[in-house]
Amino acid sequence: MSEPIIAELEAKIAHTISVLQQAVAEYAEGKVVFANSLGAEDVVITDLISKHTPQIGMFVLDTGRLPEETLKLLTDVQALYRNLTVEVYYPEAADVEQYVRENGVNAFYESQEMRKGCCFVRKIKPLKRALAARDAWITGLRREQSVTRDEIGFKEFDEGNGIDKFNPLADWTEKEVWAYIHAHKVPYNELHDQHYPSIGCAPCTRAIAVGEDVRAGRWWWENPETRECGLHPATPAADQEQAKPVNVMDFLPK
Residues classed as catalytic: 229
C-alpha dist (Å) from residue 72 to 30, 38, 190, 208, 217: 27, 10, 9, 22, 21
119 in a labelled binding site: yes
| Contact between residue 130 and residue 89 where contact means Cβ atoms under 8 Å apart | yes
What's the chain's Rg over C-alpha atoms? Answer: 18
Question: What does the alpha-carbon distance between residue 19 and residue 56 come to, in Å, rounded to a whole number?
Answer: 12
204 marked among binding-site residues: yes
Yes or no: say if 196 and 205 are a contact pair by the CB < 8 Å rule.
yes
Cβ(222)–Cβ(115) below 8 Å: yes
**CA-wise closest residue to 154 among 18, 1, 38, 11:** 18
Q: Is 75 annotated as a binding residue?
A: no
Q: Binding residue per annotation — 19?
A: no
Backbone phi, psi, residue 57, to 5°? -75, 165
Residue/partner pairs of 182-187 with CB below 8 Å, 24 or more apart? 184/47, 186/43, 186/44, 186/46, 186/47, 187/43, 187/73, 187/76, 187/77, 187/80
Annotated binding site for [4Fe-4S] cluster: 118-119, 201, 204
Annotated binding site: 118-119, 201, 204
